[in-house]
Amino acid sequence: MQRSPDFPLSILWRCSWTLFALAAASAAHAGCVRLVPGDQDLTVSLTMPNLDLPDRRYRLVGDVGVTDGYECSSGQNAFITELPLTGLTYEREIASDDGRTYSVYSLGPRSPLIGFLHMVGSVHNGAGRTSQDAVAVGRRHRNPGIVSPATEGVSVNLAVMLFFRGGAMESIPMTSLGTATSWDESDPSQSIQHHVRLEINVPTLTCTLADSSQSLDPVSADLLATPGSTAGEKAVAMAMTCPSANVGVEMVLTDANDAGNVGSLLTPAAASDAGGVQLEMLRAGNPVQFGQRWQHGWSSKGSQDVPFTARYRRTAAPLRPGTIIGEAVLTADYR
């Protein structure tokens, strides 16, 4: 009989706990509903400077999507996003100067680097609030969203962050990467799609070629006694200067005194007075073919030599001592 007063106290404690649980369950059902049914058209089309700034952030693009696409109740409203995008090659992680670390991707060996930013934001009583997270392709990401003090409109957008890759870059033609999806964590049926397309125009970098005048050492006539004999081979080079590494260079060598020459022997210039001998140009140890293009490959940054060799070659004409002068023109095209 002395323990009976404890029984009502136990009932009161259990009732209080039950009321708390009901309140928590009610809050868990709060969330967001779509106000605007449209999706986000994330089409990026711009011109980006071709600068050698490895991993430097260029700019954010596409941060305006479907304005007030959701109405969210008060409290914490988190959103999930997935980026099952295609055609992208993972390159590396970049710790950006905006305080975030981006997983960045490319659309080719020299394309700009591409990262993605997911944004959940609202405007309440004139004060803008946004939660911004760097997101990776192929992974599900939870953006914690914002804490709404009252029912209000919320925008959910995806944006592209562009980075310089380092070295020369090339343009990206208009390319569809597919569709990303975001949804209210408490209700996956309330989703929004982000259709992603990119077109980035990058100006082509060019290098400069310097004029060069080089002389072969004199040789005696007995070294060129028979037609077809050669002597005095010497390395010669033309200097090329490029503003960045990885400039794609295509070259062609022509005879300055005979545009139609497709051989390897330079036509003697007007000031020549030797006979029975001409200058022959070689590349990588083999006689060149004037007018034939070749891929020089990717440049390095700064000054570099374009190597050749030159030598005397005896012709069928009578040999006559003197000076022989040949002139070649090197032309470079860039991509």
Averaged pLDDT for residues 100-121:
96
Per residue in 265-301, pLDDT (tens digit) is: 999 999 999 999 999 999 999 999 999 999 999 999 9
How does strand 302-314 pair with strand 277-283? antiparallel
Give the mean pLDDT of 197-215: 94
Residue with tokens 């409109």: 153
Block residue for tokens 């071709």:
50
Note whether 150 and 175 are same-domain residues: yes
Tell whether 130 and 222 lie within a shared domain.
Answer: no
Number of helices and strands in the chain (H, E): 1, 22
Quick check: 13 pLDDT over 90? no
49: its two tokens: 């400077």
What confidence tens digit (pLDDT) does each residue in 245-259 have? 999 999 999 999 999
The CA-based dihedral angle spanning residues 220, 223, 227, 232, taken in that order and rounded to the nearest 10 degrees: -80
> What is residue 146's predicted lDDT score, i.e. its pLDDT?
81
**Segments of 69-185 assigned E as strands:** 70-72, 75-82, 89-95, 101-106, 113-124, 127-135, 140-148, 152-163, 172-184
Domains of the chain: total: 2
Amino acid symbol at 21: A
Is the predicted pLDDT of residue 35 greater than 50, yes or no?
Answer: yes
- Identify the pLDDT of residue 44: 93
Asked whether residue 115 is assigned to any structural domain, the reply reads yes
Q: What CATH code is carried by the domain that includes residue 248?
A: 2.60.40.1090
CA 182 to chain centre: 26
**Direct distance between the N- and C-terminal alpha carbons of the chain, in angstroms, rounded to an integer:** 98
Backbone phi, psi, residue 224, to 5°? -125, 45
> pLDDT tier at 6 (50, 70, 90 boundaries)?
very low
Average pLDDT on 310-317 reads 96
Q: What is the CATH number of the domain that holds 89?
A: 2.60.40
- Structural domain includes residue 26: no
Q: Which of 201, 227, 260 is the last residue in one of the domains?
A: 201
| Token output for 93 | 């992680």
Q: How is 20-66 classified by DSSP, letter by letter?
A: HHHHHHHHHT--EEES--PPEEEEEEEE------TT-EEEEE----S
Grade residue 207 by pLDDT with cuts at 50, 70 and 90.
very high
Q: Are strands 40-47 and 187-201 parallel, antiparallel or unpaired?
A: parallel
- Residue 327 class from Cβ within 10 Å (0-12 exposed, 13-18 middle, 19+ buried)? middle
Counting residues of the chain whose pLDDT is more than 90, the rounded percentage is: 73
- Average pLDDT score over the chain: 88
Could you tell me what percent of the chain has a pLDDT over 70?
Answer: 87
- In which band, very low, low, confident or very high, does the pLDDT at 64 lie, cut at 50, 70 and 90? low
Domain boundary among 201, 232, 256: 201
Same domain, 41 and 188: yes
- What tokens does 318 get? 């009578």
157 in the same domain as 38: yes
Residue 20 inside a domain? The answer is no
Q: How far is CA 160 from CA 91, 139, 220, in A?
A: 16, 16, 69
**Per-residue model confidence (pLDDT) at position 142:** 96
Domain residue limits at 96: 31-201
Please write the tens of the pLDDT for every residue from 21-31: 333 333 443 57
